[in-house]
Amino acid sequence: MEVSLPVPAHVRRHLVEFLVESSSLQLLASPIVKYTALSFFADRFLPSLPCFLQGNTNPNWLLNPLRESNLQLFALISIWISSKIHDTRPLSVTSLKSLGDNLIVDQHFTTRDFAIAELVFMEVLRFEIGASQIAFQFLEDLLIQFRELSRIGELVSFHLCTEIMDLLYETEEISELFFTPYALAASVLVTAYVLSVPKQEWEFPVLPWVCRL
C-alpha cells in the first residue's frame, strides 16, 4: 500500500505498534533499545521524510513510491541502529531479516536491502543518531530519584510507566503535546503515580517535585 506524506495518523499508529511488537515481543530487546528506536523512527524519521523527499530529485527506491511495507523495514532499521548503540552484542541483520520475512507480508527484503535501508535511514536523519535525549532515560532517572526521596516511589509501577509511554507514542495527537523528552518522562511518571498508588497512600507532593526538577 502506498503512503502519502505526511504519514497519516492511522498508518503511523500501525507502524509504531509494529515497532513495539517487533522489539518487545519478537526480538526481546531491552526497553532502552525499544525507546531509542521509537525516538529515531517516530520522533525524527517520519517527521523528516516530507522535507527530505522535497529536496531530493532522485530518491532511493525504498522511498519512491513510499509503501507501508518499506516503512516497516525502516522501523526494523531503527531497532537495529538502536541495538548497535546500546547492546554489547547487537542484533544481527540475519535475525532482523528473518523477522521481516515473517511480519512484512507485502514485500520481501534481502540482506542487501537492509544495508541500503540503513544508509537511507541515516541520510534522512542527517547521520545524527545521538541517544542522549531519550524520554525513557529521563523516566528511569526520575523514578530512581523519586524512590530515594519517598517510600511511596516503590509503589509506582515501572511496567505501567512503559505501558503509558507506549500508548503516548502510538497516539500522535497526545505525544505532540510534549515539547521535550523530559516533559514526556515527567508526565508519564505523574500519571503512573496517580494510577499505581492507592489514594490513601498519597503522602508525597509528586507534582510540585517534578515541576521543580
pLDDT value of position 104: 96
Length of the chain, please?
213
CATH node for 9-124: 1.10.472.10
* Residues 169, 16 contacting (CB under 8 angstroms): yes
Alpha helices in the chain (DSSP H): 9-20, 31-38, 46-54, 68-86, 93-103, 111-124, 135-149, 158-170, 172-175, 181-196, 206-212
Half-sphere exposure at residue 2, Cβ-oriented, CA atoms within 13 angstroms? 5
* CA separation for the pair 156, 31 (Å, rounded): 17
Mean pLDDT by groups of 10 residues along the chain of 213 residues: 86 96 95 95 94 89 95 98 96 96 94 97 93 89 88 89 91 66 88 84 60 55
Instruction: Count other C-beta atoms under 10 Å from residue 148's C-beta.
Output: 8
pLDDT value of position 174: 53
